[in-house]
């Protein structure tokens, strides 16, 4: 192990190759911006993401607190190993730990070149404020919650009616309904049937998956943004577009870039809902609790369903949709173990913190109680939505929409996984769960 007064501990070349191939490789291959079904299937089979957790545990055993530098060519990379360091990096965003990194920029520039996540300085501050205002970042229940709950209920009823014959629910049947909800919530009912818009953002995301390795599809990006501005001009009541219409904006805030991010980020929210359904299908007792909560909550009570929100958070803890949170240092930083140079890429592998059974005894089980009474974050970082000044500004909105959908799907039905053995509650839950492959049988 190499440590000096002025430099952080450094991993060996062999360890670095292992991390690159067993931690970052699978995540990149699965698709960072849009998931690739075939690779996810393979990752499921080989439990690749579990291996990633094991490798980081080994580094923590050997190097202790870190941060640990990886001698990769190009920019230095540092892996965070200690909970207090996670907190520091996320709390001290965007200075000296900038949210924008070369990797994120190369990917997101394909469809949201002025998105807040890849902005810095004054532009970032203004775009962040805009996102917080429109998405209701500080409120557990969004100002338009009544409308959003009604939209989800309507679409879920439609889906359940459609399934009445076969009673088999697959991702292929769920996804179009989910994206209808998303378009109605974000842009209004007028966008309900606009599947072409979702297709456009998905095509741009496919290019984004390859980051700088894929040429930019500028014409498609312009068409997509043009279509978004038409919806924003309409500002249909009861949608986020209407809230944008009532929020001061200008060219520099770039509202269509922010909305492009929202349409993209609602996709992982759909996956999360589907995986949470799988968890409930495999855990009948918890499913009954969730069902009871949904049934007894009427009117405004349905806008805040703590137990079902906890089930969604468990789905995110077990299978985080942002498995790696990246930052880039804007200046040299001092740590107990040494100095980290400026322009280092800082890597927080949330999968490791969420699934380290040595620190979190229930790490590999479904345990919604973990989210009760603000327990997480006290001692051990559970960061599905990140944390600090760069925390996901839509976390409450996401929990609202996903919990309503999950509640609606289970309230009138028993749900079984097909095959039921896919998730065995007596075994540690798998490191990957491809939402594409999930199949459910519903019965009244």
35 binds ligand HEM (CB under 6 A): no
346 binds ligand HEM (CB under 6 A): no
Residue of 34, 156, 394, 423 interacting with ligand HEM (CB under 6 A): 394
Rounded to whole angstroms, the Cα distance separating 291 from 272 reads 18
Q: Which is nearer to ligand HEM, 23 or 442 (by Cβ)? A: 23
Q: Which stretch binds ligand HEM (CB under 6 A): 80-88, 154-162, 393-401, 434-442?
A: 393-401
Q: How far is the CB of 292 from ligand HEM (least distance, A)?
A: 25
Q: Which is nearer to ligand HEM, 163 or 280 (by Cβ)? A: 280
Would the CA dihedral through 228, 232, 233, 237 be positive or negative? positive
Residue of 79, 89, 108, 116 interacting with ligand HEM (CB under 6 A): 116
Q: How far is the CB of 443 from ligand HEM (least distance, A)?
A: 28
Binding-site residues for heme sit at 392
- Residue that has been written with the tokens 């990633």 in this structure: 52
Q: Which is nearer to ligand HEM, 163 or 271 (by Cβ)? A: 271
Q: Which stretch binds ligand HEM (CB under 6 A): 14-22, 142-150, 339-347, 382-390?
A: 382-390
Rounded to whole angstroms, the Cα distance separating 205 from 194 reads 17
Residues 96-115 that bind ligand HEM (CB under 6 A): 99
Q: Which is nearer to ligand HEM, 130 or 307 (by Cβ)? A: 130
Determine the 3-state secondary structure of 44 from DSSP.
Answer: helix
384 binds ligand HEM (CB under 6 A): yes
Residue of 265, 343, 412, 416 interacting with ligand HEM (CB under 6 A): 265
Rounded to whole angstroms, the Cα distance separating 70 from 19 reads 9
Q: Which is nearer to ligand HEM, 105 or 302 (by Cβ)? A: 105
Given a contact cutoff of 8 angstroms between Cβ atoms, the answer to whether 104 and 129 are in contact is no
Q: How far is the CB of 57 from ligand HEM (least distance, A)?
A: 22
Chain Cα centroid distance, residue 140: 18
Residues 122-161 that bind ligand HEM (CB under 6 A): 128, 131, 135
Q: How far is the CB of 312 from ligand HEM (least distance, A)?
A: 8
Check residue 2 and report its DSSP letter. Answer: B
Residue span 278-317 as binding mask against ligand HEM, x where in contact by CB under 6 A, dash where not: --------------------------------------x-
Rounded to whole angstroms, the Cα distance separating 106 from 207 reads 10
Would the CA dihedral through 10, 14, 15, 19 be positive or negative? positive
| Nearby residues of 85 by Cβ (< 8 Å), 6 or more positions away | 65, 66, 67, 335
Rounded to whole angstroms, the Cα distance separating 22 from 226 reads 40
Chain Cα centroid distance, residue 176: 19
Gyration radius (Cα) of the chain, Å: 21
Question: How many residues make contact with ligand HEM (CB under 6 A)?
Answer: 27
CA nearest neighbour of 208 among 261, 268, 274, 171: 261
Question: Which two three-digit tokens encode residue 47?
Answer: 């439990």
Q: Which residues bind ligand HEM (CB under 6 A)?
A: 99, 116-117, 128, 131, 135, 261-262, 265-266, 268-269, 272, 316, 321-322, 325-326, 384-386, 390, 392-394, 397-398
């Amino acid at each position: 192990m190499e440590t000096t007064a002025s430099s952080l501990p450094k991993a060996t070349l062999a360890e670095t190759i292992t991390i690159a191939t067993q931690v970052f490789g699978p995540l990149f291959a699965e698709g960072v911006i849009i998931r690739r079904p075939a690779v996810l299937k393979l990752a499921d089979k080989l439990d690749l993401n579990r291996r990633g957790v094991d490798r980081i545990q080994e580094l923590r055993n050997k190097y202790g607190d870190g941060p640990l530098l990886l001698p990769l060519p190009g920019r230095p990379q540092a892996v965070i190993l200690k909970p207090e360091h996670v907190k520091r990096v996320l709390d001290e965003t965007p200075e000296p730990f900038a949210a924008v990194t070369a990797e994120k920029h190369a990917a997101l520039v394909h469809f949201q070149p002025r998105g807040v996540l890849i902005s810095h300085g004054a532009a970032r501050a203004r775009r962040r404020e805009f996102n917080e205002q429109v998405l209701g970042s500080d409120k557990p229940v969004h100002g338009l919650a009544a409308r959003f709950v009604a939209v989800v209920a309507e679409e879920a009823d439609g889906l359940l009616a459609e399934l009445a014959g076969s009673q088999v629910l697959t991702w292929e049947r769920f996804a179009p309904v989910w994206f209808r909800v998303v378009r109605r919530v974000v842009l209004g009912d007028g966008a309900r049937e606009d599947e072409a818009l979702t297709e456009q953002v998905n095509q741009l995301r496919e290019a984004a998956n390859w980051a700088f390795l894929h040429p930019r599809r500028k014409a498609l990006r312009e068409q997509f943004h043009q279509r978004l501005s038409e919806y924003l001009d309409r500002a249909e009541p009861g949608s986020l577009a209407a809230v944008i219409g009532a929020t001061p904006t200008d060219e520099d805030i770039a509202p269509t870039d922010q909305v492009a991010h929202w349409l993209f980020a609602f996709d992982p929210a759909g996956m999360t809902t589907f995986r949470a359904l799988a968890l409930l299908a495999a855990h009948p007792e918890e499913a009954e609790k969730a069902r009871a909560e949904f049934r007894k909550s009427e009117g405004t009570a349905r806008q805040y369903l703590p137990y079902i929100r906890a089930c969604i958070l468990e789905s995110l803890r077990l299978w985080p949709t942002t498995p790696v949170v990246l930052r880039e240092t804007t200046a040299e930083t001092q740590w107990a173990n040494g100095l980290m140079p400026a322009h280092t890429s800082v890597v927080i592998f949330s999968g490791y913190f969420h699934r380290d059974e040595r620190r979190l005894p229930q790490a590999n089980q479904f345990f919604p109680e973990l989210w009760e009474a603000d327990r997480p974050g006290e001692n051990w970082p559970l960061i599905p939505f990140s944390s600090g000044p760069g925390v996901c500004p839509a976390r409450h909105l996401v929990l609202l929409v996903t919990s309503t959908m999950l509640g609606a799907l289970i309230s009138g039905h028993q749900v079984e996984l097909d095959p039921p053995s896919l998730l065995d509650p007596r075994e540690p839950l798998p490191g990957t769960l491809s939402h594409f492959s999930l199949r459910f049988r519903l019965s009244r």
